[in-house]
Amino acid sequence: MIGPDIAGIAEKLGAAADTATAIPQLAAETGLDVDAAYEVQAALLKRRLDRGERLVGLKMGLTSKAKMAQVGVDEVIWGRLTDVMRVADGGTVDVADFIHPRVEPEVAFLLDRLPEPGEPVGAFGEAVRAVAPAIELIDSRYANFSFSLPDVVADNTSAAAFVVGPWSPVPDGLDNLGVLLEIDGRVAQVGSTAAILGDPRRALDEGIRLAARHGVRLREGWVFLAGAATAAVPLRPGAHVRAVVEKLGTASLRAGS
């Protein structure tokens, strides 16, 4: 039997992102399973590297119940981040570059020397050099922001852009910090870092383990997004977005019209 056309699917998803045009879901129709979906993701990354982008990190998805419930998929997933997706803290994005962008508050880690896959990450302080509040802008390439597990994995877990706030040394406890997402000065979402697999540090363990299954090793200097602590909120033209994480500070983003 001939497997799904990995290159063809990656081309469709890449073109959808480039032209900010939604496409129908494709996993069911093409027989794409989760492993093949990670191959599509790798092909999408290669497409970006071929045009000069650099891989700068990794992101986790669906590490909180709020997110799983919002999109109806209940598995932890991971995706790739490139330099072109990074927006300066306080920077502006153009909503016209996206299909139906949403924003969510996250915690970012700056990775240091990493343990081998399987080695316990007990020495978290050795794996992580610094931590920061962050905003992820997600933009599913599928119509209605609706997808199955293999669909969202193939779509690089809806990754589109991200903002990292100021880095700080890792504080003693990261497992119960208050998280707010503000839009135009009003609180849109409230949560806690405890929503991220009980402790965002656990997201790093999961990331190391899950990426290793597909031959990917995390690297020193990479940014690691642990996954949103709350549901995501649509990004409207003109909006000013702030993610506030207790003890860590804020990250912000403006939406041009």
Binding site for Mg ion (CB under 5 A): 136, 228
Query: Do residues 26 and 40 make contact, with C-beta atoms less than 8 angstroms apart?
Result: no
Please state, in angstroms and rounded to a whole number, the distance separating the CA atoms of residues 136 and 103: 6
The span of 17-25, 151-159, 182-190, 203-211 binding ligand OOG (CB under 6 A) equals 151-159
Structure tokens at 165: 């706030």
Residue whose CB is less far from ligand OOG, 4 or 191: 191
State the alpha helices, DSSP H only, in the chain. 6-19, 27-30, 34-50, 65-71, 124-127, 149-154, 200-212
Amino acid found at 232? A
Please state, in angstroms and rounded to a whole number, the distance separating the CA atoms of residues 128 and 172: 13
End-to-end C-alpha distance for the chain, whole angstroms:
48
When asked if residue 202 is in the footprint of ligand OOG (CB under 6 A), the reply is: no
The span of 27-35, 108-116, 133-141, 176-184 binding ligand OOG (CB under 6 A) equals 133-141
When asked if residue 37 is in the footprint of ligand OOG (CB under 6 A), the reply is: no
Residue whose CB is less far from ligand OOG, 22 or 115: 22
Minimum CB distance to ligand OOG, residue 107 (Å): 10
When asked if residue 104 is in the footprint of ligand OOG (CB under 6 A), the reply is: yes
Residue whose CB is less far from ligand OOG, 76 or 239: 76
Query: Do residues 104 and 233 make contact, with C-beta atoms less than 8 angstroms apart?
Result: yes
Among 140, 148, 156, 250, binds ligand OOG (CB under 6 A): 140
Neighbours of 156 (CB within 10 A): 31
Query: Do residues 23 and 151 make contact, with C-beta atoms less than 8 angstroms apart?
Result: no
Planar angle of CA 229, 71, 69, nearest 5 degrees:
60
Q: Look at residue 4 and give the partner it binds from ligand OOG, Mg ion, none, a contact being a CB closer than 5 to 8 Å depending on partner kind.
A: none
Residue whose CB is less far from ligand OOG, 17 or 138: 138
Please state, in angstroms and rounded to a whole number, the distance separating the CA atoms of residues 253 and 166: 13
When asked if residue 41 is in the footprint of ligand OOG (CB under 6 A), the reply is: no
- Which 54-93 positions form the footprint of ligand OOG (CB under 6 A)? 61-63, 67, 71
The span of 10-18, 107-115, 134-142, 246-254 binding ligand OOG (CB under 6 A) equals 134-142
Q: Look at residue 62 and give the partner it binds from ligand OOG, Mg ion, none, a contact being a CB closer than 5 to 8 Å depending on partner kind.
A: ligand OOG
As a 3-state breakdown, the chain gives helix, strand, coil percent values, each rounded to 5, of 30, 30, 35
Residue ranges that bind ligand OOG, judged by CB under 6 A: 61-63, 67, 71, 104, 136, 138, 140, 152, 157-158, 227-228
